[in-house]
Every structure is written in C-alpha cells, then in structure tokens.
Amino acid sequence: MTSVPSLLVAAIDFGTTYSGWAFSFKHEYATDPTKIGARQWYGGQLVSMKAPTTVLIKPDGRTFDSFGYEAESKYSELASEDNNEYKRWYYFRRFKMMLHGKMGLNRNVDIEDETQKSLPAKTVFSLVIRYLKEDMLKNSKDKLSSGHLTEDEITWVLTVPAIWTDAAKQFMREAAIEAGIKNENLKIALEPETASIFCRLLPVEKMVQGGGMTSFKAGSVYMVLDAGGGTIDITVHEVLSDGKLKELQKASGGAWGGTQVDEAYKQFLISLVGNPVFQRFQLESKEDYLDIFRDFEIKKRDIAPDNENKVTVRLPSSLKEIFEDESGEDLHTAIKQTRYANEVSLTGDKLRINASTMKSLFSNVVQSTVSHVKELMKERAVSSVSSILMVGGFSESKMLQHAVRSNFPNVKVIIPQEAGLVVLKGAVVFGHSPSSIAQRVCKYTYGIAKCIPFENGKHDIGKRSNYDGVPYCNDIFDKYVEIGQSIALNETTKEISYIPATEAQTSIEFSIYASTQKSPMYVTDEGCMKLGHVITDNIDKNVPKNQRTVFVCMTFGGTEIEATAREERTGRSTKAKVSFLG
C-alpha cells in the first residue's frame, strides 16, 4: 500500500515530571525549521509549555478523566470530600520512571497509583498518549482544518531517553499504537538527539554560554547533557561536513533528574514533622500537599550557589494541626529540637530556611552527574569534547549549571534559551528529517543464540545436547555487532546462515541477546540478557535440513532494531522489528 506523504509532524514529549506536544507543517519547516507551535498550560501561579505528567482515571479503571494541572486539582477536590470517594479513582503521577532500566520488561506489567491500586501500565501510558494526541488535534483545529488534513498525513514522534532499554522503547511504541497512532506513522526519537538536532538550528544569539554565544560548525565535538525530571541522559556528538551528526560515545546516564531534588525536599520536611505525620498529611490534605510542591517548584528555580538569602515557604495550617494532634507538641517548639534548629525557623505559617540547607537538597543529584561526566571525559572518544550542551528542564537549575561549569572550566557550557523545550521541538525537527543522525554507537554487543557441533575440551559439558544423534553445544553467542561499535543509520549487518537442528524442525526461533561484554562465548555468560526473538516458520521439511538454510541480518543505527530472516531455497523473507517484550 502506498503511504500518504506527511504534511505535518506532531511530537509528544512524554516526560517524567512534565509532558507536552508540538507540531509544524512541512511547508513551515522548509522555510523556518524552528517555527514550531506548542500549547501553553496553566496551573495556579505556574504557566508552562508542558503540563505535569499526572493522569486521573475514573473508577472503572478504563475511562480517562483529566490530565496535568486539571487532574491534580480535581483529585484534590475529590480528596477534600468526607466520603472517601477519591479512593475509588485512579491517580497516577510521575510514573514514567517505572520503565527506566527494565531490561526484562513485560507488556502486561501493572503499576500502582497514589493509593496502591493497580492498573496495567500499558493502559495508563496509552490513555495519556491518546489525550495528548487528541489535545493537539483539538487545540490546533483551526490551523489543521484549513489544510484539510487527514490523520494519515501526520507523522507522530514520541520521545524516549537514550539510556532506555530496547524493551522500554517497544513498550512506548505499543502504548502509542493502543492510543490510536498508526504504527507506520510513528517514529521513536531519543531525547538528547532531538535536543542536539534542534540546537544546531538555533540562531547564534539563542545559544548562550556564560556571557557569550556560540554555534556548532562542522568538526565540532560536544556533549549533550539532557537533564530531565527523571534521568540525566548523556551522549557525545560530532558535526559532520554534511551537517549531520555522528554519535561518538554510547548513551549513558542515570536516575539523577530533578525529581530527586523534590524527594530530598520531602525528606527534609519529614525530618521536621516525622514520617507518620507527613503520611497522614499527604493522605488527608491532598490540596495542601500539592500546593507545597507547586510552591517548591517555583522556589527551587531560584536556588543558586551565590544566593545566601533565606528561602521562605508557606507551611499549611493543616500540617501543623496534624502534627500537634499526633504529638501533642507545638511545631514551632519541636523544630528547635531537630538537627535543623539553627537552620530553620517557623513564624506563623512561614517556614524560613537557610540558603545552605536548600542548596544541600541538590547535593546527591549534582555530585552523581558531575562524577559521571568526569568518568566519561576519561574516554578516548570524549577527549576532544569542546562544549557541553545542557538541555532539559532540570538543566535550567542554577545549582546544576554552576556545578558543571566549575568542574569543567576548560569546556564551554552552553544552555540554550528555553532549555526545557528543546527536546520537544527537536522531536518535531527529527520527524521532518530523521536522517539528521548519521551514526550511532552500540550500547551493547548484540547477537543470536545458536548451537554448534560440540567439541570436547572447548565447550562446557553442561551445554551438550544430542540432535538426531549428533552432539551439539547450546547457548553459543553468535555476535552481530559489538559494544562501542559505530553503526551508520539503517546499516544492515552481513547475513549469517543457520539451519534447523533436527530433520523434523519446520521453524526456527532466533533469540536475540545483548551483552555488556565485547565477545561473550555463551548467552548465559555474566552481562548477557535475552531481549526478544524473531521466528521463521513453515520451513519445508520435505527437503533435507541442510537445504533449509535461513540467512539472518539485523538493521541497527535507528532508534529500534529490525531483523530479516531469508530462506535460501525459496527466497521468502520475514522482516520484523525485534520483539523485546515478554
């Protein structure tokens, strides 16, 4: 079937803390690639280009109710009623991180909401994606209807962290398909890559570093540090002569995003009032609980290394009342008995906190990030880095910016304007020009499990099996590409041949493995993980097995892996994206 050409690209940035959408038409991209439309979201004092990744689902567990600031407010209203009705509703927030680091992810996995009720994770993710998709179409209705667009003429781009596993990427694709986006109209984009692509298009005056400005020319080598709510995602790019990007170092990072600072603030409050009090406050006064962290979201943006002013936050009366009810003490007096006695004071409903205490909330996240970048800088591929490009919402933190600048004084540190939006806008650009990334670096060694004739003294006796009376060694790791190897966009490996193990066999299941080792011998070696499989079936068993040869190759370099199995005798090919989900 002939595909309909895309006239519009719409991107969804599904973040840990905030999510949003953006779009541009093909003709707009041709004249100004940075001309990208996006929605503004409103919540109390906050106005942002992305909304909190928070969803409220009705008691039936299937019906979407609200998203973002609206979901937060409605859930708070439900919780303020005396009938406990809110406990029947499903309220999920900041749930994207459940996919982080999950190599053996199952497509049927459940996640718990704020009151420990479970729903299938796929349902929750797909409801959010569907809402963002329909919200984009609704809010852009006038602009879209003028061109009489059909959904087949829209390319959708969904962003994921580069450090995510192949299983997590596939999970997001399947959730998007369940949300009504056609598989053939969907692209998965890696967050630091889209940021890099967009920043290269910005005018020089919008690429601010310190007091000056910069731009990336051919030959430039720079590190992209994508600091989001959940993760710090790092990669290294070189600008090629044709303007495309080459990845020099495999993506790396960790769970050191801005939400860790929020968690440190929460633990600080718990140290003042005690965990039982705070748990009750969170349960009984959800609106005040929400306000505390909305207030902190504003305050933490102003926390800076050179700012010695005390920070004033409002402490809800409900929290003080619960504390006094539980302890029989006055909170003002109790704070003086904590380890923060000389750093914190309470007057009325105003909590005044020393600047040093607020800065300390950033310590673990900042130290983890700086330590990781220092280790990366020791790598030969990274030694020529001249700039660090900081993007993502958390990169707007002055504490993180100062730490990177002070620890890497010989490297330019660049923070573009609206750093929190460049991933989203870059995803739109990626949708128009997916070939902007010319080469990527393999994060793992990839291969297929196979059996070969057994050799005494060479092979593990525990892996010996007989097939049609012939001894074979199982679990051999048949390597296709190696960790750290540079792979061109859509590069296909050489074909490797396989034959059935027995005369009766009419199908072959190719189990795909990844390894952190360069050359593992067995798929059971330390560092090896089974990712998925591709099956070739209906092989003709009426011919000898040595005439039933199947050639397999893999296509790497894109954001997902494809495998092609070709039967030599018939020429029939089976092509499929590798299934990484159980």
Cα distance between residue 169 and residue 74, in whole Å? 31
Of 392, 397, 391, the C-alpha closest to 296 is 397
Structure confidence at residue 53 (pLDDT): 95
Beta bridge partners of 120: 110
User: Does 554 score more than 60 pLDDT?
Assistant: yes
- Give the CA distances from residue 92 to residues 115, 131, 183, in Å, rounded to whole numbers and listed in that order: 9, 14, 26
Q: Is pLDDT larger for residue 4 or for residue 513?
A: 513
Q: Which residue has the tokens 């923060």?
A: 340
Of 47, 210, 246, 39, the C-alpha closest to 132 is 39
User: Does 561 score more than 90 pLDDT?
Assistant: no
Predicted confidence (pLDDT) per residue in 100-117, tens digit: 766 667 888 999 998 899
Predicted confidence (pLDDT) per residue in 287-303, tens digit: 899 889 888 988 888 89
Helix 363-377 and helix 259-273: axis angle, to 10°? 150
Q: Is pLDDT larger for residue 103 or for residue 312?
A: 312
Q: Which helix (H) or strand (E) holds 287?
A: helix 286-300
User: Does 501 score more than 90 pLDDT?
Assistant: no
Predicted confidence (pLDDT) per residue in 159-190, tens digit: 999 888 888 888 999 999 999 999 999 999 99
| Maximal CA-CA distance, the chain | 88
Residue 264, judged by CB atoms within 10 A of its CB (0-12, 13-18, 19+), counts as: middle
User: Does 44 score more than 90 pLDDT?
Assistant: no
Predicted confidence (pLDDT) per residue in 396-409, tens digit: 999 999 999 999 99
Domains along the sequence of the chain with CATH = 8-202+417-440 (3.30.420.40), 442-577 (2.60.34.10)
The arithmetic mean of pLDDT across residues 260-267, rounded, is: 96
On average, the pLDDT of the chain sits at: 89
> Please, which pLDDT band fits residue 574 given cuts at 50, 70 and 90?
confident
> Please, which pLDDT band fits residue 2 given cuts at 50, 70 and 90?
very low
Predicted confidence (pLDDT) per residue in 441-485, tens digit: 988 899 999 999 999 999 999 999 999 999 999 999 999 999 999
User: Does 1 score more than 50 pLDDT?
Assistant: no
* This prediction's pTM: 0.85
Q: Are 573 and 560 in contact (CB under 8 A)?
A: no
Beta bridge partners of 345: 352
